[in-house]
Amino acid sequence: MASQREQRHARLDVLASSVRGAGEIRRASDSIRLNRLPRWAQAETDAIVTNPASQTSGVRLELLTSASRIELTLRFTRSQLVVLSRPVATAKIAVDADGTKRILEYDEGDLRRFNRDNTVEHLVGGATTARIHLDDVGTARKVVIWLPADAEVELLDLAANRGIEAAPRNQRRWTHYGSSISHGDGADDPLGPWPVMAARDLDLDLYSLGIAGAAQIDGFAARSIRDEKADLITLKMGINVVNADSLRMRTFGPAVHSFLDTIRDGHPTTPILLISPIFCPPHEDAPGPTAWSEDWKALATSLPGRPTDGQLTVGTIRTTLSNIVEQRRRADDNLHYLDGRTLLGAKDARHLPDDLHPDQAGHRLISARFTEFLREAADRFLPSGDSLSLSEHGVAR
């Protein structure tokens, strides 16, 4: 008979093999830590990237079971920006099974507090046991547990009143790259970020590199995308570059070309859709870095500029991205461009409460329009009968 330790290891094996949407699954003797970037990429950047990348936006557990009761033990790490003077957000998971969804909400776990003096505190809390009650259907069905978009997760144990295993992986693979808008800022729960909604509507296996503040066209992100199996790649670029004023006209275009070149090293013919920024009132015609009003509205920079500075606006970025795609399509007809304003434009500005990030209704609009666009152009992006990319993520031990 297997010992309790061996039984727990077997349960952790099931958990590890059920994870979808993570770039790293780091297995220890008694837990599993998740990150949306692979470990080598984490080593090439800093906490400004690794903190949001460790939040599990789009990451889920896909299980196959006839169980009517599942207990998932995990530890959340939530973040608090003291400067915002807001309550710490609860950690939410979403259970998608039997044609219905359930949202479970928890006010517990560890807390990482970012103080006004730039110090960071880590306050240790307790583990959470999520008790999931399902219809007693008697036959195995797929149960998907979506993890929080805005918290880190450590998986500790899994129990069920009937057998449970990882669900087979048989969907087309979609890799998406983007900013906090793709990460899910403004979404109500783990099902709220627009890429998650679109993936569920289109029945796609999502790997989301929507990382708040981090869509800076970095080489480690391009290499991460290059190394992932994908049937479709979407790249939503530009807004973070303006927010940080991190690139200028001279460097932005070559950075995008290099990013695409790196991805093409691993995906020579995979459809790539390059998406420019959605409507952004403060930066349509004015550059960054983004400033903030006292009531947390995004503002254009107050720093002086010169005509020769090459500062980027959202408008100049759209033009540059469109031109890059037009140029490269002479040799790459699997590269496409989409103006982000077709997903959320000036007429939808009411859905930008801080003039930058969409609210939940805005996420819903973006998802619906993106889904409609892909369905109408399915022959280019999701042709029927194509072979699927089904490789699993490696488990770091």
Nearest 5°: the CA angle 142, 60, 359 is: 115
Proportion of the chain above pLDDT 90, given as a percent: 81
pLDDT greater than 80 at residue 389: no
Q: Which domains does the chain have, with CATH numbers?
A: 4-165 (2.60.120.260), 172-381 (3.40.50.1110)
Question: Can you give the pLDDT at residue 2?
Answer: 75
pLDDT greater than 60 at residue 392: no
At 206-257, the pLDDT tens digits run 999 999 999 999 999 999 999 999 999 999 999 999 999 999 999 999 999 9
* Banded model confidence at residue 124, pLDDT cuts 50, 70, 90: very high
Find out whether 32 and 15 touch, Cβ atoms under 8 Å. yes
Which region, left, alpha or beta, applies to residue 190 given φ > 0 means left and ψ of -120 to 50 means alpha? alpha
Averaged pLDDT for residues 149-161? 96
* Banded model confidence at residue 394, pLDDT cuts 50, 70, 90: very low
Question: Can you give the pLDDT at residue 385?
Answer: 56
* Banded model confidence at residue 391, pLDDT cuts 50, 70, 90: very low
At 294-334, the pLDDT tens digits run 888 999 998 887 778 899 999 999 999 999 999 999 999 99
By the 10 Å C-beta count (0-12 exposed, 13-18 middle, 19+ buried), 12 is classed as: buried
Find out whether 60 and 22 touch, Cβ atoms under 8 Å. no
| Mean residue pLDDT across the chain | 92
Averaged pLDDT for residues 358-376? 97
Extract the runs of DSSP E, i.e. beta strands, from 230-343: 232-236, 272-275, 291-292, 298-299, 335-338
At 86-118, the pLDDT tens digits run 788 899 999 999 888 999 999 999 998 888 777
CB count in 10 Å sphere of residue 389: 18
At 44-89, the pLDDT tens digits run 998 889 999 999 999 999 999 999 999 999 999 998 876 666 788 8
pLDDT greater than 60 at residue 395: no
Distance CA 65, CA 167 (A): 8
Question: Can you give the pLDDT at residue 396?
Answer: 32
Question: Can you give the pLDDT at residue 3?
Answer: 82
Closest CA to 263 of 176, 382, 338: 176
At 252-270, the pLDDT tens digits run 999 999 999 999 999 999 9
Residue 380 tokens read as 């280019």
Q: Across 26-35, 110-119, 191-200, which has the greatest mean pLDDT?
A: 191-200
